[in-house]
Amino acid sequence: MSAASRVLLYKDETELFAVCSQAPWNVARDAMAAFADDIGRPLVPVLFGMIPAMLTNASWQKRYAGLVAISRVASSEACAKLLLPKLEKVVKMVAPALNDGHQRNRLAGIGCLEVIISM
């Protein structure tokens, strides 16, 4: 049974949340936030070496992963300080997502900009 069909079977909101929070994309998103908080400084150059290729990839999932990574790293206090000098570059990387062909990427782009504005 696929995860999507399992979600449809749950009527209790608590069970539904438990299934959705265990989804691989949510686990990966939370792991990125933990790495950003714990590792901080060394993570930023490595990640921003990879993210431009992710954001221009043909796969919407890879573009989405890049946007989520930016959002999670920018929300980390340790990494946010490192991103402030590169803020213009980060915004230029995120801005094309607002016109992305996939709705999830447009929403992720808005989420990134929200995090960047609150830094």
Flag whether 111 is in a domain.
Answer: yes
- Domain range for residue 99? 28-117
Q: What is the mean pLDDT of the chain?
A: 77
Which CATH number fits the domain that encloses residue 87? 1.25.10
By the 8 A CB rule, do 83 and 73 touch? yes
Is residue 47 situated within a structural domain?
Answer: yes
Q: Is residue 22 one of the residues assigned to a domain?
A: no
Residue range 46-57, pLDDT digits in tens: 888 889 999 999
Query: Is 20 within the bounds of a domain?
Result: no
**How does pLDDT run across 2-32, given as a tens digit for each residue?**
444 444 444 444 444 444 555 555 666 666 6
pLDDT value for 114: 93
In a domain, 7, yes or no: no
* Number of domains the chain contains: 1
Nearest Cα to Cα of residue 90 among 115, 64, 62: 115
